[in-house]
Amino acid sequence: MERNTSALFWRMLDVVEKDIVPLTWEGVRQGHKVFGAAVLRADDLSLVLAGTNHEAECPLWHGEVWTIKEFFAPSPAGHPSVPRPAPEECLFLSTHEPCSMCLSALAWSGFPRVYFLFGYERTRADFQIPHDLRILEEIFDCPSPRRKSSFLELFSLEEMIPSLANPGEAQARFERLRAVYLELSETYQATKEKSSVIARK
Ligand SMILES: [Zn+2]
């Protein structure tokens, strides 16, 4: 069991770094936010597809919703003839704890297991984006979503670290990815400022 948790932790961080982050670098340069997602097959942890936020095109295109849309698309870009597994055969990975819209989208789509790298509190502290928590509190009167329901179960990758065989190494890897996301966020902010200056001209 512990070996499985370790394998899953390291694989998920690999997917964030190698599959999601490159898409997000491209995305932030086009003015989209830093949040990304991926779908993996539960049996061998192979990647089905990765995606990133497209909020500058439409405010609903959070990383998760975009990725779900691509997952169900008949021939998604870059994966023309790969047959899709069923959502229940997959693990869903979010770089950041999913917001209320994305959680509902995941429940409606039938993904039973959802992993996230950075929790709401980190999102609020690192990126000054408190909307997730404010929407939950103000609209749903809910301090935080349930980790387990009949629709899906949510797992924090950061919270797995103390139970891993090599927690020091895992924490260091986590912190390296955190630094990458802070850099992505700075690039996003700079791109946004530049485009609002251009718009004012
Ligand atoms: Zn969302």
pLDDT of amino acid 1: 45
b/e sequence 117-156, b meaning 16+ C-beta within 10 Å: bbbbebbeeebebeebbeebeeeeeeeebeeeeebbebbe
Q: How far is the CA of 97 from the centre of ligand 1 (A)?
A: 8
From ligand 1's centre to the CA of 102, what distance in Å? 4
In the sheet with 90-96, reading across from the earlier edge strand, the strands are 47-52, 36-41, 90-96, 113-118, 153-156
92 Cα: distance to centroid of ligand 1 (angstroms): 13
Ligand 1 center from residue 67 Cα (angstroms): 11
User: How far does the centroid of ligand 1 lie from the alpha carbon of residue 1, in Å?
Assistant: 31
Residue 106 near residue 68, CB atoms below 8 Å: yes
Element (H, E) at 169: helix 167-200
CA–centroid distance, residue 100 to ligand 1 (Å) = 7
Residue-range domain boundaries for the chain = 2-192
- 74 alpha carbon – ligand 1 mean position (Å): 23
pLDDT, tens only, 71-130: 998 765 565 556 789 999 999 999 999 999 999 999 999 999 999 999 988 877 777 667
C-alpha distances in angstroms, 143 versus 38, 113, 139? Answer: 26, 21, 11
| Most confident listed range (3-7, 89-93, 130-134, 194-198) | 89-93
pLDDT above 80 for 14? yes
Instruction: Name the architecture of domain 2-192.
Output: 3-Layer(aba) Sandwich (3.40)
The Å distance, Cα 155 to ligand 1 centre, comes to: 16
CA of 89 to the centre of ligand 1 (A): 22
Would you state the pLDDT for residue 200? Answer: 53
Q: How far is the CA of 18 from the centre of ligand 1 (A)?
A: 22
